[in-house]
Each structure stands twice: as C-alpha cells, then as structure tokens.
Amino acid sequence: MEIIVYPRRYQPVVGVGMVNLGKVNRIRASGGSTMFKKVTAVLLAITALGWVGVAQAARTDIVVGMQLEPPNLDPTAGAAAAIDEVVYANVFEGLTRFGADGSVKSALAESWDISEDGLTYTFKLRSGVTFHDGSAFNASDVKFSLDRSRADNSTNAQKQLFDSIDTIEVADPETLVITLSAPNGALLFNLAWGDAIVMSPDTFDKAKTAPIGTGPFKFSRWVQGDRIELETNPDYWGTAAKLEKVVFKFISEPTAAYASLMAGDVDAFPVYPAPENLAQFEADSRFNVVVGSTEGETILSTNNKQPPFDNKLVRQAVAHAINRQEIIDGAMFGYGTPIGTHFAPHNPVYKDFTANSAYDPEKAKALLKEAGFADGFETTLKLPPPSYARRGGEIIAAQLRAVGIKTQISNLEWAQWLEQVFRGKDYGLTIVSHTEPMDIGIYAKPDYYFQYDNKEFQQLISDLTLETDEAKRAEMLQTAQGIIADDYVNGYLFQLAKTGVANAGIVGLWENSPTQANDMTEVYWSK
C-alpha cells in the first residue's frame, strides 16, 4: 500500500507537536510525581488543539484516480486520452482552451482579431508568461509549436486541426499572425485542443517524460505504473491554482478503484470505471457522485469494407437489431443517452436520429433476408477492455443472435485492439467510445478503421471547413449527421456518461467532459 502524506492530517499535528514536546520536557525537567496530571492535562489540551487545527486547515493536495496511465506526456505526439487527462490545462496551454462548459476561451492569447475575409487571425499574446524552466514565453514559441505540429513529418494525432493554416508569422514577441489558405470557422476551436498546445523549442524533445509548459502546475515526478505528481507553479501568469499538489494515480482494476476510493487513498475518480458501484457512492455522504456528459459517442464500429458489412442492408439490419436501452441498462446501469448518429446530444446542433434505427428485430430479419442472408451469418466482435465494451458486447451478441447473426467474441487488451482493429482493420464489429469533441470528420477519412468511403460526405466536410457562417455550419453538420445515420455506417449506441465520484469536500471538478481533461486549476477543498 502506498502511503501519501496528507498535509491536512500531518501539518497541524506536527506544528502543535513541537510545542508539546518542549512543554513536556520542561515539566519533566522540573521533576516531581504530581507532574503526571499536568502532563496529561497538557496532552489533552494539545489533542484538542490538534483537532481544531485539523478542522481549520483545508487540504491543499488531491489524489485523482485514472484508469489508464498515459504512454507519455506529450499531447502533440500521441492520441492517448490519458495524456491530455494529465497535462491539459494543468501543465500545457495553447492559444485558446476549452472551458468546463465546452466553450472556447482565451488562454495564452489574450485577444484576437479576425480579418474581414476570415483569412488572417492576429493574436495578441499575454505578457509576463514564463515556462516552468524559467525561460520567457513569446510568439516564436507558438510559431515553433504549431509549425512542428503541422509539419509533414509531424506525429501529431490530430494533424487535420491545422490543415487550413497557410503561414504563421511572428509580428513582434507578443503578436502572432496566422494566415489561412481558406476561411475556417473552427480555427479557434481547433487551437483549443490538447494537440495544439505550446511548448518551448528548447524543451519540446523532453516533453514525453518531463513536460515543461506554461500552465498553473509544474510537472514534478512520474512513478511509472503508479502515479504522476504535479505541483503548483508559483510564477503562473494568471490566477494561481488553489491546490499545491496534484497526484494522478493510475488504477486500472475497477475493484481496486472502488477500494481506494472507499479507503480514502484516492480523493476523486473523474471517470469512475464501474457504473454498478455509483449507487453505493451516492448513498454514502462522504462522496459526491456527478453524472455529466462526455464527448464519447459509443458506437458499434462496423468494418464497412468487410463483407457482408459492405452491404448497406446488412448494416441497417444490425442497427435495427440493437436495443439501445437494454445496453444502457445492462452495461452502464442506466448511465448514458441513446444516440442515432455520431454526434453528442448535448451539442445544440445535435439532431435525434434514433428513430431511424429503432429497435425492430422483425425488420432486421426482413432486411437480412432481402440482403440474401436469410439464415444469418457469422462475424467477429472484438472488444477492448472498458466495461461499456465488454458488457455491451455480450448484450449486443445476444441481440444479434436473436436475428440470426452469430458473433465470435474476443476480448482484447488495448494494445491488441489498436494492432488488430484500429490499424489492422481485421474485424467485423467492435465497440468503442470516440471521446474527441466534434469528431464527425473522421467519417470523411476513407482509410479510418471503419473504412467508410462516401464522396458526398467527404465533400460536405471539406465545404464545412471553409464555411464560417454559424447558421450554415449548423445546417451542414445536421446534414452530415443525417448522411451517416442513413448509411448506417456504424451501430450508434449511446453517449458515454461522465460518471465522476469525488470526496464531498472537493469543489471545482468538471461536471462534464467537453474534452479529454482533468482541469485542476479551479479545484479546492471546502473542508
């Protein structure tokens, strides 16, 4: 068992304890057997003082539980959500950032001007910003970081964010000018992603193990396989964080996560992995359970190039064979919102397409017959480790079996899943939650793992990128949602809920998950 020093528990006791020691020594030095009573009295008083001390001093550290450990700490060099969940907004910042409600806020850019034609963005940067190693931040750092991320040899996982950028110029140390090749209404949104954060040219190559950013927390140490520690950055340009120390502890086993929360070893689990335990935490006054929304569209990904899924009728049959509510109840214990397309329901331009693929096993059977599979067929269902996939997979297998589709389930670890399914495209069906915000654009990539190739959709998405008018963008996004829903590209299951469990004394954790992040800047202990 790991022992973590909690200042709340130790600081007051240590402080009073030193006084205590002196007094007791003096009393002892004066000698005499009646001293015993006095010593007891003093000890009692000190104990009482200690309690008061405990009650007054709010803790300034937090232990945050995460299920997956990040492979590295450079958000510009990896797709793993766990990277952003540690460093986004805490260690690294970009020109803009996401707020708790998903809105785009200013970060290292204090303000910006957009030219009439929408092609030139002039960013006014904040002054007095320093990196954690003490070096000063200026516009050339931003230019370096963005140029590195959009370079041909860049390993950035979301390179398409920078597609529309033509040139980046440093006007003066506090002014940056980005010129676009075509108008892009989503530029400020794109720059808020964790993949667009700013690093210094001197330290970027060490970011994987020792990240140096501009954020309110400094990276302190990483105990591989166990935890990552951050400490407050005293030279932060903005409002300093209230916490002094943040520990991200990695607990992959849901059982262990449960035990560590109950024992108080972990203070908060922003994405608690076992929804079946939430009722217990809710009943316990020591904990707060907050169920919010995430950007995680949980879908039954279908290999659109693998027969028989290259036949739209078959995909439609699969869609009608799925009973979403049963999956949400059975796999997620009721937490989750049904979706009918690849779009987050809390987004204002979301359109409900669930009726399009309503649960109708008879229709599914009829469609299979029409497609020439009256006796059904057999396919593979490859499941990554999260419980939404493992449990959801068993339920979907039973639902598909009811209409004559036999599935061979194989449970894979993440590494195997990435290898076989995501990169190898060797699968029929799989279940995964796509947690990036506004990621409908992945359907325009024909070589993405579900291999959906629709020229009309690809044209729509490239038009969308150029469109800056909000109303038109909304309309186009809705059309896009409709196209993939009508093509039954994947089985659309539900929007993953953010099931957060935290000690009742913690204030300021994000309720929803507009991006992959555990923003600790506003978190504090109320008691």
Segment near another protein (CB under 8 A); pick from 140-148, 183-191, 276-284, 463-471: 276-284
- Min dist CB 434 to another protein, Å, is 24
If the CB atoms of residues 330 and 446 are measured against another protein, the closer one turns out to be 330
Please give the full DSSP string across 238-292, using - where no structure is assigned.
SSPPS-SEEEEEE---HHHHHHHHHHTS-SEETT-S-GGGHHHHHH-TTEEEEEE
> How far is residue 295's CA from residue 104's CA, in Å, rounded to a whole number?
15
Q: Which of 410, 454, 468, 479 binds another protein (CB under 8 A)?
A: 410
Please give the backbone phi and psi of residue 24, each rounded to the nearest 5 degrees, phi first: -60, -40
Q: Which of 93, 295, 297, 394 binds another protein (CB under 8 A)?
A: 394
> How far is residue 98's CA from residue 65's CA, in Å, rounded to a whole number?
22
Residues 362-391 binding another protein (CB under 8 A) are: 391
If the CB atoms of residues 411 and 479 are measured against another protein, the closer one turns out to be 411
Q: Which of 299, 397, 480, 483 binds another protein (CB under 8 A)?
A: 397
Segment near another protein (CB under 8 A); pick from 287-295, 358-366, 409-417, 446-454: 409-417
CB 90 within 8 A of CB 104: no
If the CB atoms of residues 444 and 496 are measured against another protein, the closer one turns out to be 496
Per DSSP bridges, beta strands 268-269 and 491-503 are: antiparallel
**Contact string 230-269 vs another protein (x = CB under 8 A):** ------------------------xx--x-----------
Q: Which of 286, 401, 472, 527 binds another protein (CB under 8 A)?
A: 401
Segment near another protein (CB under 8 A); pick from 120-128, 176-184, 195-203, 402-410: 402-410
If the CB atoms of residues 189 and 359 are measured against another protein, the closer one turns out to be 359
Question: Please, what is the angle between helix 387-402 and helix 324-332, to 10°?
Answer: 140
Q: Which of 27, 104, 170, 274 binds another protein (CB under 8 A)?
A: 274
Segment near another protein (CB under 8 A); pick from 16-24, 181-189, 403-411, 465-473: 403-411
- Min dist CB 395 to another protein, Å, is 6
Q: Which two tokens stand for residue 430?
A: 């799989």
- Min dist CB 422 to another protein, Å, is 17
If the CB atoms of residues 105 and 401 are measured against another protein, the closer one turns out to be 401
> How far is residue 498's CA from residue 170's CA, in Å, rounded to a whole number?
40
Q: Which of 106, 354, 411, 468 binds another protein (CB under 8 A)?
A: 411
Question: SS3 breakdown of the chain: % helix, strand, coil, rounded to 5?
Answer: 35, 25, 40
Look at residues 3, 23, 481 and name the one whose alpha carbon lies nearest to residue 247.
3
Q: Which of 76, 260, 277, 490 binds another protein (CB under 8 A)?
A: 277
Give every CB contact of residue 228 below 8 A, 6+ residues apart in sequence: 70, 73, 86, 219, 221, 222, 247, 248
- Across the strands, what pairs with 299? 432, 492
Chain length of the chain = 527
> How far is residue 63's CA from residue 34's CA, in Å, rounded to a whole number?
47
Q: What are the distances in angstroms from CA 507 to CA 57, 288, 290, 378?
A: 15, 10, 12, 50
The size of the interface with another protein (CB under 8 A), counted in residues, is 22
- Min dist CB 332 to another protein, Å, is 11
CB 336 within 8 A of CB 298: yes
Q: Is 487 in the site for another protein (CB under 8 A)?
A: no
Q: Which of 244, 276, 352, 439 binds another protein (CB under 8 A)?
A: 276
Q: Which of 409, 466, 474, 507 binds another protein (CB under 8 A)?
A: 409
Quickly count helices (H) and strands (E) in the chain.
Answer: 14, 19
- Min dist CB 329 to another protein, Å, is 5
If the CB atoms of residues 174 and 326 are measured against another protein, the closer one turns out to be 326
Look at residues 199, 201, 202, 142 and name the one whose alpha carbon lies nearest to residue 170.
142
* Edge-to-edge order in the sheet of strand 109-114: 109-114, 120-125, 175-180, 165-172
If the CB atoms of residues 66 and 212 are measured against another protein, the closer one turns out to be 66
CB 335 within 8 A of CB 388: no
Residues 297-356 binding another protein (CB under 8 A) are: 326, 329-330
DSSP, collapsed to helix, strand or coil, labels residue 146 as helix
Q: Which of 241, 395, 476, 520 binds another protein (CB under 8 A)?
A: 395
Segment near another protein (CB under 8 A); pick from 2-10, 91-99, 347-355, 405-413: 405-413
- Min dist CB 282 to another protein, Å, is 12
> How far is residue 497's CA from residue 294's CA, in Å, rounded to a whole number?
6
If the CB atoms of residues 110 and 326 are measured against another protein, the closer one turns out to be 326
If the CB atoms of residues 284 and 475 are measured against another protein, the closer one turns out to be 284
Cα dihedral across residues 266, 269, 274, 278: positive or negative = positive
If the CB atoms of residues 210 and 409 are measured against another protein, the closer one turns out to be 409
- Min dist CB 75 to another protein, Å, is 31
Segment near another protein (CB under 8 A); pick from 29-37, 98-106, 187-195, 401-409: 401-409
Please give the full DSSP string across 312-362, using - where no structure is assigned.
HHHHHHHHHH--HHHHHHHHHTT--EE-SSSS-TTSTT----GGGG---HH
Site for another protein, rule CB under 8 A = 254-255, 258, 274, 276-277, 279-280, 326, 329-330, 391, 393-395, 397-398, 401, 408-411
